[in-house]
Amino acid sequence: MESKIQLFSDNYYHIYNRGNNGQDIFFDTANYYFFLNRYSQYISPFCDTIAWVLLKNHFHLLVYVKNIDEVDLSKLEYTATKNPKKIDIHFQFGHFFNSYAKAINKKYKRTGSLFEKNFERKLVVSKEYFKKLIHYIHNNPVKHGFTKHIQDYPWSSYRSIISHKPTKLNRDFVMELFNNTEAFKLFHQNEQDYNDINDLIIEF
């Protein structure tokens, strides 16, 4: 069995997972909001978020893992214990997914695993990879037939990136990649060849 790569600080990762056996992980609108709320509580203190998308049975996240020196430990609310002896980003993702799964199981009176056992993660190092990966993430709803146009799908970071409203996304990083909002939009209007990022993506 292939071992998962470790998450190290000061690095960027594509993180994704799907429902166990391909089943849905979002059943109504409230679930999407709840997932994002839990993400903000568990993961945002430890990671900058570059892009994301949530679909019925899977999700994609592009994140930067902060150095522990950048994390204000006094403001953490959601960890395994009130005063954890060790802060570990792997544990935080595990607690995040477990928290969401337990809430969904309770709400819908279901049992068993909601997610596949281990979330996937890929290290991202090239700027060109970043641009295509962001496009890939935002284009997922189009690819899977949830919408005809990227900008019309509500459960992705696309709208937040082109907006001027406050956001927890690292919008500045994205704008630096694409130079400006219009270039970002134009890049998303065109089809992209994902062949050179095949090792960073997964087809569900």
Domain harbouring 20, CATH code: 3.30.70.1290
Q: Is residue 90 part of a domain?
A: yes
Q: Which of 115, 96, 162, 97 is nearest to 134 (CA)?
A: 162
Query: Both tokens of residue 66?
Result: 């902060």
pLDDT band at 2 (very low <50, low <70, confident <90, very high): low
Q: Is residue 35 part of a domain?
A: yes
Q: Is residue 5 part of a domain?
A: no
Identify whether the C-beta of residue 180 lies closer than 8 Å to the C-beta of residue 171. Answer: no
pLDDT in the model for residue 12: 96
Q: Is residue 6 part of a domain?
A: no
Which pTM value belongs to this model? 0.91
* Burial track 173-196 (b if 16+ CB lie within 10 A, e otherwise): bbeebbeeeeebeebbeeebeeee
Helix (H), strand (E) at residue 17: strand 11-18
Q: Is residue 37 part of a domain?
A: yes
Q: Is residue 167 part of a domain?
A: yes
Give the tens place of pLDDT for each residue, 32-66: 999 999 999 999 999 999 999 999 999 999 999 99
pLDDT band at 1 (very low <50, low <70, confident <90, very high): very low
Query: Both tokens of residue 65?
Result: 């893992």
Give the range of the structural domain holding residue 77, as residue numbers without chain letter. Answer: 11-200
Number of folded domains that form the chain? 1
Q: Is residue 3 part of a domain?
A: no
Identify whether the C-beta of residue 136 lies closer than 8 Å to the C-beta of residue 192. Answer: yes
Question: What is the rounded CA–CA span in Å between residue 163 and residue 5?
Answer: 34
Give the tens place of pLDDT for each residue, 111-130: 889 998 789 999 998 888 99
pLDDT band at 3 (very low <50, low <70, confident <90, very high): low
Question: What is the rounded CA–CA span in Å between residue 125 and residue 108?
Answer: 40
Q: Is residue 91 part of a domain?
A: yes
